[in-house]
Each structure stands twice: as structure tokens, then as C-alpha cells.
Structure 1
């Protein structure tokens, strides 16, 4: 396989476990860390169209299977994590952490506080229309920019991203590079206090000190009657898991957290197969108990171990 020679870092057969929050997964055929937008554009433009591309964020919502990924994995780093604020407009690079964006915005009196407790970076947040406390990326996004598989740079509107609950529509191989938000203004001290309160609530109810990938399954109620995203419905994934007697349930080194049963935990050197297998077991037992088929919120990619 012959690949273009970039200015950034291109590594063959790169293990991915250390790049995911769950610390599991086999190697990527190649890992590409572009130097800047132009480097990313030229690499994708010159890359053989038959070679798959997988954009990867900070691995906060991801299980990479034990056999790894037969693709060029693209991971954005420095150069893609800047945050600029102009009035109530906030532009954040795709590699900027959600929590950093929330904090920087709050310091300037801009309310993106809902991002403070969302794990991961802005690229992934846009990709999955992340949200909590009744607000979603779709509520504040003005536009996002992406580099397509042919190297072209495009600007996408919220309508073009076709947001729905925990989902957006993006072309295969497209790499989000930044997003611009227009958010409400607020008093910096009030916004800071709100985020402190959110963090305290999260730490009290979620296993934040464990190796997890955030919520494992989507809440069964994904939409309101109008079709808008809605996370206020009484029916929660954790509740149907708990009702099926699966709080703390284990498989190999994987466990459903005793603290919050919708969090899949790498409790004891789990493999990706342990984690995904436990998730599938939970889905089946919940269905048997309540006839509700849970949908994965964590993305699973790659191949099982040989």
C-alpha cells in the first residue's frame, strides 16, 4: 500500500488502545495526524480512493475491536484545537475538548455550559449531536466545516447535517475540522457556578474515576412528538438496565457500573470483546425483560481478534 507523504505524522500499524478512554483495541493500518488543514486536504486528495478513512476524536465514545481497523485513522491534534470568541459567536476546532470550550465561553459571558460535562471533543460532539440538560449541539450550531474524501473543504449548515437524537448526517470519510456556535449571553460568575453544580452532580451519580466511554446506550425515548431531540422522557436506559437486574453485571474484565448501570466499565483489563459482548448481553436481557431494544450510543469499529 503506497500512501501520500504528508507534513504531519503518519504511523503504520499503530495500536489504538492508548488513544481510547476504555483503553482497548487493536492497531490501525495507519494513523495520520495532520499538521494543518492544508496537510489534511492534500493527503486525502492524493490518497487512493479505495483506501478507507476513519476520523477519530479523543476516543471518549468508542470501542475499537481487538483486531484493529483496516483503514487510515485520522486524528486531529494541535492546530485543530483553537477556540475563538467574538461576541456570542464561538468557533472551536474539532479537537478542542468540549469542557474547554464551555469554560472559555463562560469566561467571556457566553453560555455553552451544557458542554462542560460532555466527554470528548467538538468534532465528535457535532457528529453525534451531543447534549445534556435539555440542550443539544443542534440548538446552538451555526455552521461546521469539514474536509471531504476528495480533499475539498466545505461548510455545512445545521440543515445539511440533518441532526436528530444522537446523530447527524456526514459523508463517509469526511473529517470535521471546526464548528461555530451562536449561544446566549450570561454572567460569567453565574455560568461558572452552574458548571460547578453540574460537575458535582455528575461526579455524584456517574463513575467518573473509572475507565468508561460515557453513556453506553441511548435513552429509549429518542424523540418528542414534534420529532425534535428530547432527553426529558421518564424512560431512561439506566432504568431498564437496572430493572433487568444488570447493575454491576460482569463479563470477563467488563462491568456495568454499580454506580450508574448505563456506564460500561473496563474494570479489570477487559478486552474489546469483553466490553462489546457484555453490551450485547445487556441488550438481550433488557429485551427479554421489557421488550425494549436498547441502541448503542458508543461507536464500535474495526475487526474482532483473529
Structure 2
């Protein structure tokens, strides 16, 4: 047990020491979390924040889909939101906890005949992560459907925000990094369940046809620059199939990096930087990482924020 555990409050959820974050990310890489905290629910998280010293580094992860944890792992407390799973339906609005995956939220809406949220089935990750980065797919973004979002600050104070309050824009929000999202209310429209499910099935088929499946990947690696598509710039720079260590640029969709053969986080991040360098040299465009990179190289430590 680390000395840190003695500084943390009693909670209803669970603490795990030296938890390997490679078990909690889609890439399957990353060093240990000093403490992994899984709150029982949003109230448990509020209690934790109210009784934890603000000097202790805190990070938040959801599904671990759009996330690269470095090999040195994370000092402090890593919070998993997977158990924050409350729900409420009000007409054509759904309110879901931040631990719901985007696809689960889409299917919940479909069961209740709520259309307009089908695109969520094509986004890997959780509602919390989607709020953090204004995730989007198939022509829509979170900011198009979010009515309000709720977040907790490090003192345990509750904040209710509109998309305007959060400064939502392409793959970015202005919400403070150390605030933790706990829920979102999403606005849909009346629809027929069968029609909604057919639309979601089409989205899943399109994604399967165009993106790598059954491999360890973190999803879309670089945000699209204005007027460009990242995958085209990467392809034009000759990076399709490029490798470094155990990491590889996907042959199927070259804006995806893959843990192809026991890659380390360093392999994956280095490959991404190689791609950025080649694209800059070929087209003059600076690619921006869409995947969030957190933690430290081996034998180092880091400080805090929210990611998915």
C-alpha cells in the first residue's frame, strides 16, 4: 500500500493500488496508477473531492478509448467513471451518467423512440470523454445535442453548464481540466425505434468498412485541420503502414495508430510524432493530436485532468 492511500477519505467505491492502466486502455499500454479509484456513483465522487487535498494529483478516465497512458504511469489518483451510470428519460431528452458509453446512450435513446442521437453509436468512449473533447462522428458533435452537462470541481462543488458555458468547438472544450464530468442531458427528437436502429446499424457498418476492427487502437489519432482530412495528409506523406517498434499506422485507415506487436506507449507516441514530422515536411500542415496523452515516461511522475 502506498502512503498516499492513508491520505484519502473513506469511500463506498473501491481503491486499488499500483493498478496497471494497460488493463484500462484500448491501446493496451501504460504504466501503473499509484491509486485507481472507482467511485460507487456521483455522490461518492463528490464526497471524495470534498475530502481530498487539492495538492494530490487527480486524473479521470472513462473507457480508455481515445487515450494514451505513458509507460511511467500516473502518480496520484486515477478515477474511473465506469460506475457513474444513472439515467433519466424526459420526453425526447435523456440524462445519463458519465460512465455510460456513447454507444449505450444511443441504444437507450433508440429503445425509447428518441431519434437524433444515432451518431453516438459510432463514437468510442464514454459520455464523460465525449463531453471533454466535444467528440463527434458522421456529421454531428456532442455540442449539437447537449442541453446541459454536470461536472464536479476539486472541492466537490457541482457545476451545471450549457455548450456555450463550456466553449464547445471542434474537438475541444474550455471546461477546466481538473473538473470531472458526471452526467449529460441530451436532446433528441421523436422517432420510430426500428428506423433509429436501422440508422445505427448503417453507421456501425460504415465504421466497420472504413476503420480497423479487432485490433488495439485508440481511435482517430489527429484532429482534422481546417480544410483538410488528416488521413489524406498522412497518406500523401507516405505514412500508411509505417511502423516503429511494435506500433503501426493502420493500412485500413491511416489516421489510426495500432498496437500491432506488443508496443509500448513510447513506441506509439514516437510513431505519432514521426507521422506529424513527415506530414509537416510534405504539406506544411501541423497535425494536432486528438488522442490525449497522459502520464510520464518510465521512472517519472505526472500531474492531473480528465480524459477518455
TM over 0.5: yes
For normalisation by structure 2, the TM-score amounts to 0.92
Q: Name the CA distance, whole Å, in 2 between partners of 1:42 and 1:116.
A: 32
SS in 2 for 1:40: helix
1:230-241 alignment, distance < 5 Å: 233=227, 235-241=228-234
**Does residue 103 of structure 2 align to residue 110 of structure 1?**
no
Q: CA deviation at 1:40?
A: 1.1
Select 2:90's aligned residue among 80, 86, 89.
86
Q: CA deviation at 1:35?
A: 1.4
Q: Is the 8 A contact 2:154 2:179 kept in 1?
A: yes
Q: Name the CA distance, whole Å, in 2 between partners of 1:172 and 1:36.
A: 20
The equivalent residue for 2:213 is 208
**Does residue 33 of structure 2 align to residue 28 of structure 1?**
yes
Q: Deviations over 1:75-114 (max 9, x none)?
A: 1223x12333221111111000111111111222212001
SS in 2 for 1:115: helix
Which runs of at least 4 in structure 1 moved beyond 6 Å after TM superposition? Answer: none
Q: Name the CA distance, whole Å, in 2 between partners of 1:126 and 1:283.
A: 26
Select 2:131's aligned residue among 119, 126, 135.
126
Q: Is the 8 A contact 1:83 1:101 kept in 2?
A: no
Q: Is the 8 A contact 2:221 2:257 kept in 1?
A: yes
1:247-266 alignment, distance < 5 Å: 247-266=240-259
SS in 1 for 2:148: strand
SS in 2 for 1:60: coil
SS in 2 for 1:142: strand
SS in 1 for 2:114: coil
The equivalent residue for 2:141 is 136
Q: Is the 8 A contact 1:58 1:120 kept in 2?
A: yes
Aligned residues between the structures: 293
Report 1 or 2 for greater relative contact order, CA contacts < 8 Å, sequence distance ≥ 6: 2
Q: Is the 8 A contact 2:30 2:265 kept in 1?
A: yes
Q: Is the 8 A contact 1:83 1:96 kept in 2?
A: no
Q: Which runs of 5+ in 1 are unaligned?
A: 222-232
Q: Name the CA distance, whole Å, in 1 between partners of 2:236 and 2:176.
A: 38
Q: CA deviation at 1:172?
A: 3.3
Q: CA deviation at 1:250?
A: 0.3
The equivalent residue for 2:302 is none
Q: Name the CA distance, whole Å, in 2 between partners of 1:172 and 1:126.
A: 12
Q: Is the 8 A contact 2:100 2:126 kept in 1?
A: yes
Q: Is the 8 A contact 2:94 2:186 kept in 1?
A: yes
**Does residue 72 of structure 2 align to residue 67 of structure 1?**
yes
Q: Which runs of 5+ in 2 are unaligned?
A: 300-308
Q: CA deviation at 1:161?
A: 0.7
Q: Name the CA distance, whole Å, in 2 between partners of 1:129 and 1:172.
A: 14
1:1-306 alignment, distance < 5 Å: 1=4, 2-78=7-83, 80-111=84-115, 112-221=117-226, 233=227, 235-306=228-299
Q: CA deviation at 1:219?
A: 0.6
Q: Deviations over 1:273-303 (max 9, x none)?
A: 0000000000001100110110000000000
SS in 1 for 2:277: helix
Q: Name the CA distance, whole Å, in 2 between partners of 1:211 and 1:77.
A: 20
The equivalent residue for 2:305 is none
Q: CA deviation at 1:259?
A: 0.5
